[in-house]
A and B are shown apart, each in its own frame.
Chain A
């Protein structure tokens, strides 16, 4: 993975946007929600390996804990630790259908307003989700909503794509908002459709969200997804520079596989004066 060959001619590259798009809701609907529905089976076939930090977080939760996987995709984290029980949610019906067929709890909901009762969950996951929200206010609101559903003492793990990533992709370091292509090789369409129900293929498209297959636009389908790439420290600042600073503590932070991550712990309720 470290020695990636030069991208084939004509391979779609990420496109930097001079600024975040003006209409946040519409941009996310068109360049996040609709795209994930269209690419769901292929995307799912590339998502089966648990990232080590996420795996460790899940293995570290007490047996019998209740978790929320917010933006659960194909449910790849929902069965990692069978001693836990997770409720998954996502925008994409296509991905939820896969999750549900695997026997996991799947709910269609927006990450900004989940519909769960407050203070219920022992932990929550937000893996590769809030970088699809196009304003700082919306990214912060997503974290606030997950903190709301955590019980005091509950933990939230947030993963976002890093601008400084050293893997397959290099991004223009002067910008943070990008359209990132997702490529479905035409010859893989049939295979991924059948593979999506088992969630296992030999496709190597995992850690970095990139197609490794040498494809050209004439033999493949290209979709563009909106991303806000996070700079070092930005994820913690998003939390600590907001009202959330009084509700959570930052328990852990770090960099893993082209992503920044943070673990937040919800503070015990303040005694009323």
Chain B
């Protein structure tokens, strides 16, 4: 009986995801269907809407992976930006086409890594037409998986000494790690690999997934669909993990470590599993972040970025996947789009509105965040998930009848 219910839930979830993906495709391709003159500004490919959707997809994976560790296992880590950096660089280094490497690494007289997965698959499947699409897809996929793996390996070596300690050294250690890794990747001596403090670019990005015709015009846009697809797959994997026997063990550790250990749960092993998995998905989201901003540059992955993601997790509810996702889109939409007008000097009828000038957005934003943290401490969702809300309502209606 218990199994049946979860099967039904899984089917519903898969349908919901498919519908959402279809909606995303439709949304980004409406502009191609409508006559050129009548496309509203919001739906144009350059609209803020799509930037928000893409960044939202990337950040929601980062937030969910942080939630897996901080919310579900009760381990407080502040290394998110560091793991994303590792993911971004791994992806970038393995994906710049060999032909472009001399140009990208011109300061160092070319790259030390003369290899890219897309080229490698290109020699097998070809570089034109369907073959080209296959080698692009495979190349990106393999590089992204490796991006996650590199982050996970680093997490393993940080976790080895730190996770055995019974306290919050993890937060300090990961924070330090993120800073160090940022400096290391800007180090001149590693230039032939990391391009020093310069950015790595020219690798496949989200818009590489748009399908273009022979004359270069776009036939089908998939640049928003792609990050949605990847994030969805990854978040689905995290959901599966959380509801598995290992996920339940994580929650037991979060709620009472002593009891968990007394019930035969190996703390060191399970903490390590959670930490590495979280880092893996942070790495994948880092790779996607590089695709989103179309470059990889170490100085972008600051502690502020970690705090931003932590904030999203807190706003969404610590221990709620759907909360994290909703909070991500809300946060990104507010910071990138809806509250933008606060930064513009606005003059109405010759009167300049007070306060509205560059930087005011951040003031309003901070106040909103303080309100959330002070009065909605459990976030939007607490530790509930979206389906829980429906279930509760259904049960209430059931008893009401």
Q: Do A and B come from one complex?
A: no
**Chain A residues within 8 Å of B, Cβ to Cβ:** none
